[in-house]
Amino acid sequence: MHALILTADGPAAVTDHPEPAVPHGEALIQLRLGGVCATDLELVKGYMGFTGVLGHEWVGEVLHAPNAALVGKRVVGDINAACGACETCLAGRPHHCPTRTVLGIDGRDGAFAERLALPMTNLSLVPDSVSDEAAVFVEPLAAACEILQQVHVRPTDRVVVIGAGRLGQLCARVLALTGAQVDVLSRGASRLALLPAGIGQHALEINPEAAQQLVGADLVVECSGSADGLVTATTLVRPAGTIVMKTTVHNPEAVTPIPWVINEIRLIGSRCGPFEPALRLLASGAVDPTPLITAQFSLREGVTALQAAAQPAHTKVVLTP
């Protein structure tokens, strides 16, 4: 089958990748649409040392499943395949299961193939009112919703999102629903134009000097995709404020913790989130991410798609079978 894989020599679009194994309790799914994200680009650089089929943002159609009622249904899926039996899973933290595999990231082939397999417990049905183009954003939109699981954002808060890329766009949209004042800081103006009205747009160079007008934020969400984004976040947040860290990079830079101690800053790592709230936001129209799609390629053009996604001119690049 067609697939976009990552090898020790780099990414490659292949036509003869083996069909996925479908263990007991898992479903076989036909890809309908996949989305390239910043993590995929970091994996290509060597992040996590991953090899195999890339891709963890997707929407597909169930071809075979233990529950026959799901066959023919559109689904999306949580990327963390946990054991379900260890102490961490039983305590309600399956995303941190020590033996989990992660779709297209760690120990499990991803979604950039004609077919993929994922546990039934990971799957969520896509409402008929949600298009494939919207559903492909469920995984990163869930990651944006996770911020509200972790932090109480008040309508009176001032929030800064660093980065107007793929994830930053979704975080800004979700945070704006709280009534808080939301500003987005970006390296350039092109992606800021994609933000909905009412979200502050600041096309400034990401460095402490250029961002002075945004200093004193109650909450800073770091989505820059850059190793120096945390330095900027530390400059912007008020004393006793909160920084939510979303960026993962292959070559992180050391950052001094001294300001965090002196200013009593709360640091929160934030990764995956709940799918059902994300699906409700899409179904209600409260969040519409489809304008973020700037290019579409087939799996055969997968390497070109990765190259395009790395360019500032593109926000979200999607892949079709």
Which residue is associated with the tokens 């936001």? 281
HSE (CB half, 13 Å, CA atoms) of 263? 21
**Residue 209 confidence (pLDDT):** 57
For the segment 151-159, the average pLDDT, to the nearest whole number, is: 98
- 3-137+289-320: CATH, from 3.90.180.10, 3.20.20.80, 3.40.190.10, 3.40.50.280: 3.90.180.10
> What is the pLDDT confidence band of residue 202, given thresholds at 50, 70 and 90?
confident
> What is the pLDDT confidence band of residue 256, given thresholds at 50, 70 and 90?
confident
Q: What is the pTM of this model?
A: 0.93
> For residues 278 and 143, what is the distance between their CA atoms, to the nearest angstrom?
9
In this predicted structure, which of 153-157, 225-229, 278-282 has the lowest mean pLDDT? 225-229
Pick the more confident residue, 225 or 290. 290
CATH 3.40.50.720 is held by the domain 144-269: yes
The tokens describing 158, both together, are 């001032």
Contact between 165 and 191 (Cβ < 8 Å): yes
For the segment 309-317, the average pLDDT, to the nearest whole number, is: 93
Instruction: Report the percentage of the chain scoring pLDDT > 90.
Output: 84
> What is the pLDDT confidence band of residue 255, given thresholds at 50, 70 and 90?
confident
**Residue 190 confidence (pLDDT):** 81
C-alpha torsion 53→47→205→179, nearest 10 = 70
Domain residue extents for the chain: 3-137+289-320, 144-269
